[in-house]
Amino acid sequence: MHPDANGNKWSWVSEPVMDPVARTVRAQRIEKGWFEEMDIYWNYREVDGGTQLNWMQDFQMRADSPVSVEQMTERISGNSPVQMAAIKAKIESASVSR
């Protein structure tokens, strides 16, 4: 993601740990930026007609962050559907090419 109007960078690198048997991914943010903590948990499960992905983010903002927890929750909630759609497209593309 590009820096915002104030030059704040909101992109990050996380370290994922995948468990294909349990169909889970846990990721911890390596470079925390404005976050005190950021942990992500994905859980995939088969449902009628496909796969359901649950995506949970547990985070706390640093005290000196330019945004509150509520503001970041709103940003994440707005961006998560975009990211989920990208993941869905990659998974579906990979399954078609097999």
Structure tokens at 58: 């547990």
* CA–CA separation, 67 and 34 (whole Å): 9
Instruction: Determine what percent of the chain falls in helix, strand and coil, rounding each to the nearest 5.
Output: 30, 40, 35
Torsion (CA) 53, 32, 20, 97 in degrees, nearest 10: 70
Distances (CA, A) of 58 to 2, 24, 55: 23, 16, 10
Give the per-residue pLDDT at 1: 60
Q: For residue 25, how many other CB atoms are within 10 A of its CB?
A: 18
Mean pLDDT for 9-34 is 86
pTM of the model: 0.71
Give the per-residue pLDDT at 25: 94
Query: Domains in the chain, ordered, with CATH?
Result: 14-96 (3.30.530.20)
Give the per-residue pLDDT at 22: 94
- pLDDT, one tens digit per residue, over 34-89 is 889 989 998 989 999 888 889 899 999 999 999 999 999 998 899 888 988 998 89
* CA–CA separation, 56 and 44 (whole Å): 12
Give the per-residue pLDDT at 65: 92
